[in-house]
């Protein structure tokens, strides 16, 4: 039988939680001792009013035991709190390490299907959602169950009939709670869905405010947000009406005044009937109120339990994400940079239709291969198979005859690096961002890579130069971030490079610098480039035209134009879209003939 996700998640700190629970039971029992002591003192002192002698020794024993119990309660509650908070801290560290470790082993394609918010929610928010349950609710719920149970046993020992009367408010409160929670499962699901819809509408409104204002859609966007908010508010009002009767009954039943009135009324009647004595009433007046108070605490703890269970389920789902398989016996390192794709097919899931079909392609060492095609033709998907963002559904990809699946990640990334349009820089120093793939690189190596990537002058202008932190004292433009990524790729010095054309989204001022940096980067490497502007790849050794996930055409720029087929039509469309684009901006190794920047400007 599959274990509960919450129990699976809490397993690493189970011993400490059990210890905290046991200490809280002892603390709750110790906390009751002074109250029982008050009752016993009443039994000792009340007869003195009728002239009976007072047993002073017994009275002092009761006082001493009560004081000792208070000290025990203080120590055990502190011990229980310490254990639960240590368990919470250790659990959060343990889970975050496991989650980050798992994220480091899942296919890179997993991240392309999810945004950073989903990762942040799992690693940060869901782990944080367990805090209150582990650090507080376990203790509170334990006390909430222990206290009324022990009090009920004690009161039944004193007077079973009056104890039954004391339980009436508790029973009514539980009935009210049951009425208020009718259909709670479906209601909570609808609540979560409504909350998610409201959050999405709010983010959409805030994130797209520039477009909304630009296109005059402010009223429409605000109406959508208002409609979602109104619908969510209406749902909450309906839920409140649905649970109002039960909540009212529960609140009335659990009020201390009702318990006090019932106990006094029944106690006086039973006293007159001779069923109880005067001292017997004292424990019911002192302890009877403790019967109902924990119910509210239990209600809050139940809510925390529900939220923590949902968080634990999401954490376990992430921890169960399939890892990218690593070979048990890695193959020897490839002897060359020749890449072969043989019969490659790919689908994002077993149920999904394939997006790549029967791809046969060879990338000779030191050559440039460009992937072109309409949006959705499979260019990015094919390019991301080479750095093993995912494995082919069918077929194989080899480097010098070695299947990528027979290499470890370290072996693969010693052969392949990649630079994409959406450059990912860590919130750390420029230096550490550049040497991400080569942590042992010297400062001199980092500076040489930055100079070759045309970013050294910009780094020198930053407040702390290479120690400046991205996002803090290093605010970089898109083109500057690209050049940092290029410096990183230069430092890694891999023989094979996958390049999602870096200048497609670059600002005009930095485009020439990025192109200059790229020319140094691609020199002597086997390059697979995704081309968005055909004018940038006219010098490629081979151009591969993709259509609906299949290779439609391949050849040089001149050969494909002569065919007057799909590529020729794409070229005409590209020239119309970019009439000032120059063929000399094509990706070419450093030193290959081409116009200077001054000639281009002229």
Return the DSSP state at 13: G
The reply to whether 153 and 209 lie within a common domain is: no
Longest CA–CA span in the chain (Å) reads 124
- What's the mean per-residue pLDDT of the chain? 78
Judge whether 151 and 291 are in contact, CB under 8 Å.
Answer: yes
Ranges 291-295, 395-399, 433-437, 497-501, most confident: 395-399
The reply to whether 209 and 231 lie within a common domain is: yes
Pairing of strands 394-399, 402-403: antiparallel
For residue 111, CA distances in Å to 104, 388, 486 come to 11, 13, 21
Question: What is the per-residue pLDDT for 598?
Answer: 34
Q: d(Cα 474, Cα 430) in Å, to the nearest integer?
A: 8
Q: Determine, yes or no, domain membership for 444.
A: no
458-487 pLDDT, tens digit per residue, is 888 888 888 888 878 878 877 778 788 888
Judge whether 142 and 425 are in contact, CB under 8 Å.
Answer: no
Q: Determine, yes or no, domain membership for 281.
A: no
Q: Is the dihedral of CA 128, 131, 132, 133 positive or negative?
A: positive
70-127 pLDDT, tens digit per residue, is 999 999 989 988 988 898 888 888 888 888 878 777 776 666 655 555 666 677 778 8
Q: d(Cα 558, Cα 369) in Å, to the nearest integer?
A: 15
Question: What is the per-residue pLDDT for 71?
Answer: 93
Question: What is the per-residue pLDDT for 109?
Answer: 64
14-70 pLDDT, tens digit per residue, is 888 899 889 989 998 898 888 888 888 877 777 665 666 777 888 888 889 989 999
The reply to whether 401 and 500 lie within a common domain is: yes
Question: What is the per-residue pLDDT for 502?
Answer: 56
Examine the pLDDT at 209 and tell me if it is beyond 70: no
The reply to whether 363 and 266 lie within a common domain is: no
The reply to whether 236 and 218 lie within a common domain is: yes
The reply to whether 316 and 192 lie within a common domain is: no
The reply to whether 558 and 597 lie within a common domain is: yes
Return the DSSP state at 126: I
The reply to whether 238 and 177 lie within a common domain is: yes
Q: d(Cα 539, Cα 558) in Å, to the nearest integer?
A: 10
Say which CATH number the domain at 36 has.
Answer: 1.20.1560.10
What domain range is 386 assigned to?
Answer: 339-428+491-601
For the ranges 142-151, 206-215, 250-259, which has the lowest average pLDDT? 206-215
Examine the pLDDT at 509 and tell me if it is beyond 70: no
Query: Nearest Cα to 158, choosing from 265, 270, 49, 68?
Result: 270
Examine the pLDDT at 518 and tell me if it is beyond 80: no
Q: Determine, yes or no, domain membership for 460.
A: no
∠ CA 545-547-552, nearest 5°, is: 50
Q: Determine, yes or no, domain membership for 435.
A: no
The reply to whether 206 and 97 lie within a common domain is: no
Confidence bin at 500 (pLDDT 50/70/90): confident
> What mean pLDDT comes out for the span 530-556?
84
Say which CATH number the domain at 500 has.
Answer: 3.40.50.300
* Cα dihedral 212/218/223/224 (nearest 10): 0
Q: Determine, yes or no, domain membership for 441.
A: no
What tokens does 16 get? 């400490």
Q: Which residue has the tokens 């000290």?
A: 71
Q: Which residue has the tokens 């998610």?
A: 196
Q: Determine, yes or no, domain membership for 509.
A: yes
Separation of first and last alpha carbons in the chain: 76
4-28 pLDDT, tens digit per residue, is 888 888 888 888 889 988 998 999 8
The reply to whether 266 and 176 lie within a common domain is: yes
Q: Determine, yes or no, domain membership for 411.
A: yes
How many domains does the structure of the chain reveal?
Answer: 3
- Residues composing the chain: 602
What tokens does 257 get? 């005044």
Q: d(Cα 80, Cα 73) in Å, to the nearest integer?
A: 10
How would you write 498-553 as a 3-class SS string? Answer: EEECCCCCCCHHHHHHHHHHHHHHHCCCEEEEECCCHHHCCCCCEEEEEECCEEEE
Question: What is the per-residue pLDDT for 76?
Answer: 92
Query: In sequence order, what DSSP letters do the residues of 386-452 get, joined into one string?
Result: TTTSS--SEEEEEETTEEGGGS-HHHHHHHEEEE-SS----SSBHHHHHTTT-TT--HHHHHHHHHH
Judge whether 552 and 382 are in contact, CB under 8 Å.
Answer: no
The reply to whether 87 and 16 lie within a common domain is: yes
Judge whether 339 and 415 are in contact, CB under 8 Å.
Answer: no
For residue 440, CA distances in Å to 159, 419, 435, 445, 473 come to 78, 21, 8, 10, 24
The dihedrals phi and psi of 588, each to the nearest 5 degrees, come to: -145, 150
The reply to whether 139 and 200 lie within a common domain is: no
The dihedrals phi and psi of 442, each to the nearest 5 degrees, come to: -75, 165
Q: Determine, yes or no, domain membership for 479.
A: no
Q: Which residue has the tokens 């539980």?
A: 174
Return the DSSP state at 53: P
Q: Where are the beta strands (DSSP E) in 282-425?
A: 339-346, 356-363, 368-372, 394-399, 402-403, 416-419
Q: d(Cα 218, Cα 133) in Å, to the nearest integer?
A: 42
């Amino acid at each position: 039988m599959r274990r509960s996700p919450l129990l699976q998640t809490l397993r690493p700190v189970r011993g400490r939680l059990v210890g905290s629970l046991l200490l809280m039971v002892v603390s709750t029992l110790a906390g009751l001792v002074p109250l029982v002591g008050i009752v016993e003192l009443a039994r000792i002192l009340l007869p003195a009013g009728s002239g009976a002698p007072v047993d002073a020794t017994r009275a002092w024993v009761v006082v001493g035991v009560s004081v000792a119990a208070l000290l025990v309660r203080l120590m055990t509650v502190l011990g229980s709190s310490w254990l639960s908070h240590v368990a919470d801290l250790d659990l959060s560290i343990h889970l975050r390490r496991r989650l980050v470790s798992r994220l480091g082993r899942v296919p890179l394609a997993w991240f392309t299907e999810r945004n950073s918010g989903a990762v942040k929610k799992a690693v940060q928010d869901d782990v944080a959602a367990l805090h209150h349950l582990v650090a507080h609710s376990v203790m509170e719920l334990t006390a909430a169950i222990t206290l009324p149970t022990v009090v009920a046993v004690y009161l039944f020992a004193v007077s079973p009939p009056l104890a039954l009367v004391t339980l009436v408010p508790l029973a009514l409160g539980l009935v009210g709670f049951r009425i208020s929670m009718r259909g709670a499962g479906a209601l909570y699901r609808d609540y979560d869905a409504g909350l998610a819809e409201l959050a999405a509408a709010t983010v959409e409104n805030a994130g797209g405010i520039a477009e909304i204002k630009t296109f005059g859609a402010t009223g429409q966007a605000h109406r959508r947000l208002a409609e979602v908010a109104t619908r969510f508010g209406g749902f909450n009002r309906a839920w409140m009406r649905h649970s109002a009767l039960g909540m009212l009954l529960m609140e009335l039943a659990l009020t201390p005044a009702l318990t006090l009135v019932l106990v006094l009324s029944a106690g006086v009647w039973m006293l007159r009937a001779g069923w109880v004595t005067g001292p017997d009433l004292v424990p019911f007046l002192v302890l009877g109120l403790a019967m109902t108070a924990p119910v509210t605490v239990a209600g809050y703890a139940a809510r925390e339990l529900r939220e923590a269970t949902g968080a634990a389920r999401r954490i376990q789902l992430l921890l169960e994400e399939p890892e990218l398989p690593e070979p048990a016996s890695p193959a020897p390192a490839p002897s060359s940079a020749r890449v072969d794709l043989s019969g490659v097919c790919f689908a994002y899931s077993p149920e999904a239709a394939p997006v790549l079909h029967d791809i046969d392609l060879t990338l000779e060492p030191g050559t440039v291969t460009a992937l072109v095609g309409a949006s959705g033709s499979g260019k990015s998907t094919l390019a991301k198979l080479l750095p093993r963002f995912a494995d082919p559904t069918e077929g194989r990809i080899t480097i010098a005859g070695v299947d990528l699946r027979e290499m470890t990640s370290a072996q693969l990334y010693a052969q392949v690096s990649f630079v994409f349009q959406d450059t990912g820089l860590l919130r750390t120093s420029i230096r550490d961002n550049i040497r991400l793939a080569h942590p042992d690189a010297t400062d001199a190596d980092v500076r040489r890579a930055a100079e070759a990537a045309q970013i050294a002058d910009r780094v020198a202008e930053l407040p702390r130069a290479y120690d400046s932190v991205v996002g803090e004292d290093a605010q970089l433009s898109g083109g500057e971030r690209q050049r940092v990524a290029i410096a990183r790729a230069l430092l890694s010095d891999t023989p094979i490079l996958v390049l999602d054309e870096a200048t497609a989204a670059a600002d005009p001022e930095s485009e020439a610098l990025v192109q200059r940096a790229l020319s140094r980067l691609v020199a002597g490497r086997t390059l697979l480039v995704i081309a968005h502007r055909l004018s940038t790849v006219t010098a490629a050794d081979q151009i591969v035209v993709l259509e609906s996930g299949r290779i439609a055409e391949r050849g040089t720029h001149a050969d494909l134009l002569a065919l007057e087929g799909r590529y020729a039509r794409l070229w005409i469309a590209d020239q119309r879209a970019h009439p000032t684009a120059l063929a000399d901006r094509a990706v070419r190794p450093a030193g290959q003939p081409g116009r200077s920047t001054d000639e281009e400007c002229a």
